[in-house]
Structure 1
Amino acid sequence: MASRPLGAAALCGIALGCAACKPAAPPLPAHVRISIDGAVISPAKADGRQWDGMGAVPAEALTAIGGLLRTKHPVAAAASVAGFAAEAAGAGTEPPEPFGSAELFVGGRSLGRRALDRPGQRDTCTPGWKGPPTWYRVPLTPDVHLSGELIDRDLVNDDFIGRFAIHHGHLVEALRARTVYPVAVDNQAAGQVLFVWIEVWPE
């Protein structure tokens, strides 16, 4: 029996059916728990100098990190950059001693500021924070966002590392990842904070 050509309506129905085969994203919870677990920091300041001392980080190391940042998969990129930054920091350069704080906002209303620190943590491009700092029962509204800053603790004058902002879209990505999730922030401020590791869980 000869096959009959499919009409436009039938083709449209097939296309719609295929689209319907894709599972819909689950609905977002009304409230979430948000934690900031750590960060990945460039082994060099924006001008190439190391964080402490007078030396400079080799340009090829910074070029390699720039290439890794263009990896499309955020977890793979963050892990690669963190490993390379730690290696560069251990090759005679002087990594920072990062600390700072972050504040959570819903619209213009603050839900509290948390310290980002870990006593005794020294010389690292991959700091983790004691706790970790966490906000509970956060409304997952489009205007929710985190604003933070990191500083290099020095004996005399502390060095400013950079500010970062984490928005609703980042929080939704972390929620759906269901694990500790790296938010790329290297395109913010001076580009010295590369990733911020967060967790978002429904409540």
Structure 2
Amino acid sequence: MGSRALLGAASLCGIALACASCRPAAEPLPARVRISIDGAVISPAKADGRQWDGMGAVAPGALTAIGGLLRTEHPAAAAASVAGFAAEAAGSGTEPPEPFGSAELFVGARSLGRRTLDRSGQRDTCTPGWDGPPTWRRVPLTPDVHLSGELIDRDLIHDDFIGRFAINHGHLVAALRARTVHPVAVDNQAAGQVLFVWIEVWPD
């Protein structure tokens, strides 16, 4: 390589290093946080395409469209779009679930308590919210902190299992840095019937 090429490469490296040094450092994480679960987005159909209540099936085109939305790179936009589409699909002759459930927070194997996920009078929805919302205070933001939850469709005779979800340290940090209600994509967990879980994480 000629001297001019070497000088050019050195200059580019210097610029790159200078730019890297100018980048703002990530804010240090707080030692303790407040964690809330605000709601969820549920598929308008069971994994086999059947609607939650009744004998009909959800149109395959609706499920294909939701699958396409889930593959976008922006979780907040995807969650909002999927929520709107799920609500529309649920209102077009199908019967949505009546979701309720619970979630438990752990640091390692130690439980910091279980919270109920429910809302009085809430019926027939793919976008449930929870009374409260359920919250844990003064939670150590350690690498082994995680949430585990499950949702169930309340029926007159036999309740239907909707799905389990897990939220890990990385999800909690992303929500903390988002500084708003943050969607965690969980459609790749369990049966894929729970699509998103909305959480908030704030310094505490």
TM-score (norm 2): 0.96
Aligned to 1:77: 78
Aligned to 2:53: 52
Counterpart CA distance in 1 for 2:192 and 2:198 is: 16
Equivalent residues in 2 for 1:152-163 (5 A)? 152-163=153-164
Q: Give, in angstroms, the shift of residue 17 of structure 1.
A: 0.7
Aligned to 1:173: 174
Q: Give, in angstroms, the shift of residue 16 of structure 1.
A: 1.0
Aligned to 2:87: 86
Q: Which stretches in structure 2 are left out of the alignment for 5+ residues? A: none
Counterpart CA distance in 2 for 1:184 and 1:27 is: 25
Aligned to 1:108: 109
Q: Which stretches in structure 1 are left out of the alignment for 5+ residues? A: none
Aligned length: 201
**Residue deviations 1:147-202, cap 9 Å, x none?**
00000000000000000000000000000000000000000000000000000000
Counterpart CA distance in 2 for 1:147 and 1:80 is: 25
Counterpart CA distance in 2 for 1:102 and 1:4 is: 60
Counterpart CA distance in 2 for 1:64 and 1:10 is: 49
Aligned to 2:67: 66
Counterpart code for 2:33: V
Counterpart CA distance in 2 for 1:34 and 1:6 is: 52
TM-score (norm 1): 0.96
Q: Give, in angstroms, the shift of residue 11 of structure 1.
A: 3.8
Counterpart CA distance in 1 for 2:45 and 2:180 is: 29
Counterpart code for 2:96: P
Percent identical pairs in the alignment equals 87
SS of alignment partner, residue 131 of structure 1: coil
Aligned to 1:95: 96
Counterpart CA distance in 2 for 1:21 and 1:11 is: 15
CA RMSD in angstroms, aligned pairs only? 1.4
